[in-house]
Amino acid sequence: MVMLRNQGYEVMVRPSRWQLGSEQAMLQTTLLESWVSAALEIAPEAADELANWQSQRRRWIEYGQSRLQVGHRDL
């Protein structure tokens, strides 16, 4: 952002929330897999707990019962 501002651009950052429902099952699954992978790298001792959580989330996604809100900031 600093580089853009230094070039004279006006830079705004705003909160944005992705609301993922059952129609975004593939994206939810992809996010779930990447989050579990990252968590395992940080805390391998939590493998059993993460596997249980992942399994439950997969079932919810499969049954169309998963809703996911991903908070981030848009530039």
pLDDT in tens, 1-60: 889 899 999 999 999 999 999 999 999 999 999 999 999 999 999 999 999 999 999 999
Check residue 72 and give its pLDDT. Answer: 85
Domain containing 11 equals: 2-74
Q: Provide the CA 15 distance to its chain's centre, in angstroms.
A: 15
pTM, to two decimals: 0.76
Check residue 24 and give its pLDDT. Answer: 96
Check residue 1 and give its pLDDT. Answer: 81
Q: What is the 3 state secondary structure string of the chain?
A: CHHHHHCCCCCCCEEEEEEECHHHHHHHHHHHHHHHHHHHHHCHHHHHHHHHHHHHHHHHHHCCCCCEEEEEEEC
Check residue 75 and give its pLDDT. Answer: 85
Task: Give the count of domains, the chain.
Answer: 1
Check residue 66 and give its pLDDT. Answer: 95
